C-alpha cells in the first residue's frame, strides 16, 4: 500500500506543521507561567499597598502583554493546516478536534479579551479587588484554554472514549470523561503547565539578574527574584514528578517510544537507565540491531525500577516489540500488520456492500465494528495494515531524536531544580546578587527552558511516529494529497512571517526591559 505517495509531500507537510507548532510554543509557555507570577505579585501589592510592588507587577505585566500580543492566535494557523494539509486526519478524529476546541477557543477569547483589558487598563479605574480578580482570571483563563488542545493531543497518543463509525469514517465520542480524564491527558496537562511555570520563573530570574549585573533597580530585581525562585522550586519539583509519571505512562501505552527514548534495542529485566550517552552516527537498525553508543553512563536497574518500581520488571526493547516476544506477551509487528490489513479490508468490503445495496453483507460487516472482541483483535491494529509490503523499520520512531530530546529535557530539568534552589536560598539570605558569576549563570540559563520545552514536544510527537493517531492512523494516510510545491511555498511564507514576528518580539521586549520598571 501507499507505493504512490510522494514522501517529499509528507516531509514538507510535517515540516510545515512542526515549524508552526514550535513557533507557537515559544509564546504559550511564557503566557501560561508569567500570568500566574504577575497575579501573585499583584496580590502582594494589594495586600501590602507597597508602591514598589506595584511597579514590579506593572513591569512584568508589560512583558506578559508583549508576549501575549505577539503570540496570540498563532495557534489558529495550526487549525488552518488541519483543514488544508491534514484533511483526512481532521475528518477521522471527528468530535475530538471539532466542537469542544471551537467552544473553548471562543470562550477563552472572550474571557481573555475582557480580563486582559481590565488587567491592563484597570489601574486606578476599577476597584483594587476587582482589578486583582481580573489578573487572576487572566491567569486561570490562559491555563484553562490550554486544556482541550492538550486533551486532543493526548487522545492522539492514546485514543480512548471514542468509537469508530465506519459509515462516516470518523471517531465519535462515547465517553467525554474517559477522553478528558485519561491518565495521558491529565498528566500531559500537568506536565505542560508545571513546566511552563518553571520556564516563566527562570525567565524572571534571568531578567532580574541582568538588572543586578548592571546594578540597576536592585530592590525591584531582588524582590522579583524571591517570588520567581519560590515559583521555580515548586514548579521544578512538580515538573520532574509529572515528567516521571509521563515516562511511566509512555512505557505502558507506547512501549516503542519508551524504548526509543532510551535507545534500548534488546529488552531485559534489571534494565539500566542511560544517564548520559552519545550515539553513533552510523547506526544500522533492524534487522541487525547492535550497540548504538559511542559512550554511555548508566544507572543500574533504574529503568526497570522507574517503570515497575522493582528491578525485576521487564522492559521490552525495540527488537522485542518489532519481532515479538511471546514469552513476555508482545505480538510481532508482522502479526499486527496482518490483523490491521484484515480490518482495512473489512472496511473496504463494508463500503462496497453499502454501495451495492447488499443489506445482508453490510449488516454482517457493520456488526463487527461494534463487536468488542473483533475490535480488540483486528481494529486495534488498523493502522499497521497500511504497512503491508513496506519495510518494518518504517514503524520505528527516530531513535536518536527521541533519545536526545528526552535526555536534554531531563538533564536541563535537573539543572533548573538545583539552580532555583540555590537562587531561593541566597535570596532568602539576602545574598543573591553578591556573586557576579551566579548572575551570569542566571542569564545563560534564561533561554534553556525553551530548549527543554521544545525537546519535550519533539519527544512526544516524533516519538509517536509513524502514527498521527496511535496505531490507528499513520501520518502517510493523514496527509492531504497536495502538490509538494504548494506546501513548500507556504512553508517559506511562514518561515518569513514568523522570523519577522520573532524579531519584533525580541526587539520590543528588549526595549521595554532596558527602560526598566520606571519606563513609560
Partner 1 sequence: MIGKVFRFYYNGFRSMTWGRKLWRIILIKLFIMFAVLRLFFFPDLLKRDFSSDEERGNYVLEQLTNP
Q: Nearest distance from residue 55's CB to partner 1, in Å?
A: 16
C-alpha separations of 19 from 13, 76, 199, 459, 492 in Å: 10, 14, 20, 15, 10
**453 binds ligand HEM, rule: CB under 6 A:** yes
Q: Nearest distance from residue 164's CB to partner 1, in Å?
A: 10
- DSSP annotation of 175: -
> Are 273 and 265 in contact, with CB atoms under 8 Å apart?
no
List 13, 246, 319, 427, residue binding ligand HEM (CB under 6 A): 246
C-alpha separations of 379 from 160, 166, 341, 364, 372 in Å: 13, 11, 9, 16, 10
C-alpha cell at 198: 518553571
Q: How many residues line the site for partner 1 (CB under 8 A)? A: 48
> Are 151 and 189 in contact, with CB atoms under 8 Å apart?
yes
Binding characters for partner 1, 457-476, by CB under 8 A (x = yes): -------------------x
Binding characters for ligand HEM, 170-189, by CB under 6 A (x = yes): ------------------x-
**170 binds partner 1, rule: CB under 8 A:** yes
Q: Which stretch binds ligand HEM (CB under 6 A): 287-295, 448-456, 480-488, 510-518?
A: 448-456
Helices (H), 429-483: 436-445, 448-462, 475-478
Q: Tally the C-alpha atoms within 13 A of residue 199's C-alpha that lie toward its C-beta.
A: 27
Give whichever of 76 and 428 is closer to partner 1, judged by the CB atom: 76
Choose the one of partner 1, ligand HEM, none that binds residue 456, judging by a C-beta under 5 to 8 angstroms depending on kind: ligand HEM
List 122, 413, 474, 517, residue binding ligand HEM (CB under 6 A): 413
Q: Which residues of 146-184 are buried (b: 16+ CB within 10 A; e: fewer)?
A: bbbbbbbbbbbbbbbbbebebeeebbebeeeeebbebbb
Cβ atoms < 10 Å from Cβ of 69? 14
ω into 64 cis (within 30 of 0):
no
**33 binds ligand HEM, rule: CB under 6 A:** no
**493 binds partner 1, rule: CB under 8 A:** yes
Give whichever of 151 and 227 is closer to ligand HEM, judged by the CB atom: 151
Choose the one of ligand HEM, partner 1, none that binds residue 66, judging by a C-beta under 5 to 8 angstroms depending on kind: partner 1
Q: Which stretch binds partner 1 (CB under 8 A): 89-97, 315-323, 358-366, 450-458?
A: 89-97
Ordered DSSP codes for 18-76: HHHHHHHHHHHHHHHHHHHHHHHHHHHHHHH--HHHHHHHHHHHHHHHHHHHHHTTTTH
List 386, 404, 419, 432, residue binding partner 1 (CB under 8 A): 386
**89 binds ligand HEM, rule: CB under 6 A:** no
**351 binds partner 1, rule: CB under 8 A:** yes
Residue of 494, 490, 467 lying closest to 89 (CA atoms): 467
Helices (H), 314-397: 318-323, 333-356, 359-368, 372-377
Nearest-angstrom CA–CA distance, 70 and 502: 8
Choose the one of partner 1, ligand HEM, none that binds residue 316, judging by a C-beta under 5 to 8 angstroms depending on kind: none
- Residues making contact with ligand HEM (CB under 6 A): 157, 188, 191-192, 195, 198-199, 239-240, 243-244, 246-247, 250, 409-410, 412-414, 416, 449, 452-453, 456-457, 459-460, 463
Residues near partner 1 (CB under 8 A): 1-2, 5, 62, 65-66, 69-70, 72-73, 76-77, 80-81, 83-84, 87-88, 90-92, 117, 120-121, 125-126, 166-170, 344, 347-348, 351, 386, 476-477, 480, 489-490, 493, 497, 501, 504, 508, 512, 520
Amino acid at each position: 500500500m501507499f507505493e504512490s505517495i510522494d514522501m517529499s509531500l509528507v516531509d514538507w507537510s510535517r515540516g510545515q506543521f512542526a515549524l508552526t507548532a514550535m513557533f507557537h510554543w515559544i509564546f504559550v509557555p511564557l503566557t501560561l507561567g508569567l500570568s500566574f507570577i504577575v497575579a501573585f505579585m499583584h496580590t502582594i501589592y494589594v495586600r501590602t499597598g507597597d508602591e514598589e510592588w506595584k511597579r514590579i507587577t506593572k513591569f512584568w505585566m508589560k512583558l506578559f502583554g508583549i508576549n501575549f500580543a505577539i503570540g496570540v492566535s498563532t495557534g489558529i494557523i495550526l487549525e488552518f493546516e488541519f483543514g488544508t494539509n491534514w484533511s483526512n486526519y481532521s475528518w477521522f478524529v471527528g468530535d475530538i478536534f471539532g466542537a469542544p476546541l471551537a467552544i473553548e477557543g471562543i470562550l477563552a477569547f472572550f474571557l481573555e479579551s475582557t480580563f486582559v483589558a481590565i488587567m491592563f487598563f484597570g489601574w486606578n479605574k476599577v476597584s483594587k479587588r476587582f482589578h486583582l480578580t481580573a489578573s487572576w482570571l487572566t491567569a486561570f483563563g490562559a491555563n484553562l484554554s490550554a486544556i482541550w488542545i492538550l486533551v486532543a493531543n493526548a487522545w492522539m497518543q492514546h485514543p480512548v472514549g471514542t468509537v469508530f463509525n465506519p459509515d462516516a469514517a470518523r471517531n465519535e465520542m462515547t465517553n467525554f470523561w474517559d477522553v478528558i480524564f485519561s491518565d495521558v491527558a491529565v498528566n500531559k496537562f500537568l506536565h505542560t503547565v508545571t513546566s511552563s511555570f518553571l520556564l516563566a520563573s527562570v525567565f524572571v530570574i534571568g531578567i532580574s539578574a541582568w538588572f543586578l549585573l548592571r546594578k540597576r533597580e536592585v530592590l525591584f530585581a531582588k524582590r522579583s527574584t524571591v517570588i520567581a525562585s519560590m515559583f521555580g522550586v515548586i514548579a521544578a519539583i512538580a515538573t520532574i514528578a509529572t515528567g516521571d509519571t509521563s515516562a511511566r505512562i509512555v512505557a505502558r501505552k507506547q512501549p516503542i517510544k519508551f524504548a526509543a527514548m532510551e535507545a534500548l534495542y534488546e529488552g531485559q529485566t534489571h534494565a539500566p537507565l542511560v544517564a548520559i550517552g552519545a550515539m553513533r552516527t552510523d547506526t544500522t537498525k533492524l534487522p541487525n540491531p547492535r550497540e548504538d553508543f559511542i559512550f554511555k553512563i548508566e544507572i543500574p536497574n533504574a529503568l526497570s525500577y522507574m517503570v515497575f518500581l522493582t528491578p525485576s520488571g521487564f522492559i521490552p526493547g525495540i527488537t522485542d516489540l518489532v519481532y515479538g516476544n511471546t514469552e513476555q506477551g508482545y505480538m510481532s509487528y508482522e502479526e499486527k500488520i496482518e490483523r490491521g490489513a484484515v480490518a482495512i479490508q473489512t472496511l473496504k468490503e463494508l463500503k462496497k456492500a453499502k454501495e451495492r445495496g447488499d443489506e445482508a453483507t453490510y449488516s454482517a460487516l457493520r456488526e463487527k465494528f461494534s463487536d468488542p472482541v473483533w475490535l480488540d483483535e483486528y481494529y486495534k491494529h488498523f493502522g499497521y495494515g497500511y504497512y503491508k509490503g513496506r519495510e518494518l523499520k518504517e514503524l520505528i520512531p527516530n531513535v536518536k531524536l527521541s533519545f536526545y530530546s528526552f535526555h536534554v529535557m531531563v538533564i536541563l530539568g535537573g539543572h533548573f531544580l538545583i539552580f532555583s534552589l540555590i537562587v531561593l536560598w541566597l535570596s532568602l539570605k539576602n545574598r543573591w546578587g553578591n556573586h557576579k558569576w551566579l548572575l551570569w549563570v542566571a542569564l545563560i540559563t534564561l533561554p534553556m527552558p525553551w530548549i527543554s520545552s521544545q525537546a519535550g514536544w519533539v519527544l512526544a510527537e516524533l516519538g509517536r511516529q509513524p502514527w498521527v493517531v496511535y496505531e490507528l492512523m499513520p501520518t502517510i494516510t493523514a496527509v492531504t494529497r497536495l502538490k509538494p510545491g504548494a506546501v513548500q511555498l507556504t512553508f517559506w511564507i511562514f518561515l518569513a512571517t514568523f522570523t519577522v514576528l520573532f524579531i519584533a518580539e525580541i526587539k520590543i521586549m528588549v526595549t521595554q526591559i532596558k527602560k526598566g520598571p520606571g519606563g513609560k
